[in-house]
Structure 1
């Protein structure tokens, strides 16, 4: 008895086939996804490990609201003590799981390179989390997010110079009101894409608005500028949640948590969303520039109080905003992540001027450098076109603004004039 190999089927005598073909076995053509099944198993396991590590939540202070109140009572004279949550995973076991993955068996050269880079990135995340509240944390942050190059520092200083200082906003909304607005935004997407999940949580254990694995997390103690609500929704829901959900529809699940080094491009895309919808106002641009300046000062050895005072005295940043910028920079022992917002939009502007489109960047969470790889996977039908189109591409005036950027623009060109204080 002859047994057919796996992946084949027996062909009996058929009209038009010579006798020598009768009863022979021919291999069925596997789909592109089936051909990559071993690679996709590695992809799924890398995704699971990064979800377990959860860098973003694990470097967010638990006590920011109380620390601000104490800092204010001290007349801004005592540096805050920020508490981070205990890790709920074993770093040694996570590292072991990472290096047990047999990435060497992935035949596809592009995916092999991608998975090695992602494994390295997750390993750096784990080490950085182990090093929280030590001087070593800064080195891990630099490895993950890069440093502040002189051109970026110069662009940040120029923005702070050409944009007049803005008075603090007096009209704010509560976390609960913002959550209601966010749920309404999710429902706008569901009206077009009925399977679009709604996940909004108001939390008392985070200090910053964030999207974590497709969930919008809102700090319970936060107050949001009333005139920034729409821009924030396009940034958080229209970019971070939409790219997560688009990634979730792909066979490559790393597109939900992000390909290696995706953060810079993702934040640049989110800032672009703000600009295209008219929400990148002078206050917001000054904050993005001040974050870069604050990172630079921290890298030069400045501590929290020096950074805070410099933002207030040298750049006339309001006290509450200067506090928020400074704690994001010193958390854990020194974080350079906040420089990626201005660097990200700068690189997006360069890409637009060079003729790059946005569609590939909406497939999931990826970096500009990954466009050739992702385009190749799209061409081979391994990946699919984006499921959801973000609303920020279709708001009135968005396409006109986008065409102006395609003609060539620098980050300082995003400043379109002053606003009422």
Structure 2
């Protein structure tokens, strides 16, 4: 890579990271009346009456998209593939922001499909087939959000990543999320966790999401720490791959990932209540509510058809990553070199051949589990 191009890309990377830092789209797609709407749905469902949650949300800042619009005008999208990826990522982020700002279900659906891909009937049938092969035994959720946060902090400290924070937050769709731009792990205040989930989520969140971000930050090409267009299926697929590799993924986890595909596919043409009823054939009402709420994230009136389709990437990405690494196991280090996608592998090989790619310094096998966790797991 030409040094002038590298310098330009790194300048763009620095600018984009600063622009993305204050933008937390998912903060504005997490219902603030989640608990009351959940109760209303459960009461209606018990009585055999149809009810679609009517969600309310925090209002996004006014004009929050303007800096990104200005940034787009500075891009030369046709000069190289990396700048094209930046352009696509920013453009689709703006589409999602516009959909969330206007509570436009059609735009949220369209933008998320452009970002993550269309949930297909074939993928959905694969999810149903996997469900049919599973034998689940639900485990009690006894670990508080505070205790989970402590384990996350211990793991980061043991990895010498003291500049990362773990925060317990309200109003989250996910139970745990990682915000790489501000080096923060978020734990949902309302969430409870099973004992077996402790190690799984350390492998998933710290061993994959945090470590890929940190590895990317050490690279000569700064863009590798950002997670650009089309990376999410690889990101979540690799996290699930690690869960299986280290023996911490349960049948309940596999069921959840499969049901997320079904929820995404059905939500495109069904209401919240219809999708919820389908999912309760296979899981608890609490789990079904969580999954469909994620599928309808950003929607006010959830009787409307449409979906934020992101959650189908967990199941889909796992199969893509597993299949690729079965055939090309030596690509594993490339996939851990940053927040990159399978589609970036040719460009990553070129970077490595020209001396611009470092081997990943952080891998999930290096995780050290604290004494508290060891004690909990021994019980």
Give the TM-score taking structure 2 as reference length: 0.85
- The farther-off stretch of 179-188 and 91-100 is 91-100
Q: Give yes or no for contact 1:53–1:126 (8 Å, CA) kept in 2.
A: no
Call closer, same or farther: CA 1:326–1:110 in 2, change over 3 Å.
closer
* 1:375 corresponding residue in structure 2: 349
Call closer, same or farther: CA 1:378–1:56 in 2, change over 3 Å.
farther
* 1:302 corresponding residue in structure 2: 270
Call closer, same or farther: CA 1:167–1:384 in 2, change over 3 Å.
closer
Call closer, same or farther: CA 1:393–1:95 in 2, change over 3 Å.
closer
Q: Work out which of the residue numbers 312, 336, 339 in structure 2 matches 1:362.
A: 336
Question: Which runs of 5 or more structure 1 residues have no equivalent in the other structure?
Answer: 1-30, 396-421
> SS state of the match for residue 217, structure 1?
strand
Q: Is 1:40 the counterpart of 2:10 in the alignment?
A: yes
* 1:172 corresponding residue in structure 2: 142
Partners of 1:122 and 1:75 in 2: CA distance: 36
Q: Work out which of the residue numbers 281, 287, 294 in structure 2 matches 1:321.
A: 287
Aligned length in residues: 355
Deviations 1:53-99 (A, max 9, x none): 33333323334344334434545553323232221352451343232
Q: Give yes or no for contact 1:103–1:115 (8 Å, CA) kept in 2.
A: no
Call closer, same or farther: CA 1:355–1:157 in 2, change over 3 Å.
same
> SS state of the match for residue 105, structure 2?
coil
Call closer, same or farther: CA 1:62–1:110 in 2, change over 3 Å.
same
- The farther-off stretch of 272-281 and 371-380 is 371-380
Residue 42 of structure 1 and its aligned partner are, at CA, apart by 1.9
> SS state of the match for residue 44, structure 1?
helix
Q: Greater Rg, structure 1 or structure 2?
A: 1
Partners of 1:111 and 1:80 in 2: CA distance: 41
> SS state of the match for residue 187, structure 2?
strand
Give the TM-score taking structure 1 as reference length: 0.77
> SS state of the match for residue 302, structure 1?
coil
For CA contacts below 8 A with separation 6 or more, give which structure has more relative contact order: 2
Q: Is 1:353 the counterpart of 2:323 in the alignment?
A: no
Residue 268 of structure 1 and its aligned partner are, at CA, apart by 0.2
Partners of 2:342 and 2:102 in 1: CA distance: 29
Q: Give yes or no for contact 1:47–1:254 (8 Å, CA) kept in 2.
A: no
> SS state of the match for residue 262, structure 2?
helix
Partners of 1:256 and 1:289 in 2: CA distance: 29
Query: RMSD of the TM alignment (CA)?
Result: 2.5
Residue 331 of structure 1 and its aligned partner are, at CA, apart by 1.6
Call closer, same or farther: CA 1:111–1:202 in 2, change over 3 Å.
same
* 1:412 corresponding residue in structure 2: none
- The farther-off stretch of 346-355 and 60-69 is 60-69
Q: Give yes or no for contact 1:91–1:130 (8 Å, CA) kept in 2.
A: no
Deviations 1:161-186 (A, max 9, x none): 1113x354224211111111212222
Residue 351 of structure 1 and its aligned partner are, at CA, apart by 0.6
Q: Is 1:185 the counterpart of 2:168 in the alignment?
A: no
Within 5 Å, give how 1:194-233 maps onto structure 2.
Answer: 195-208=161-174, 209-213=176-180, 214-233=183-202
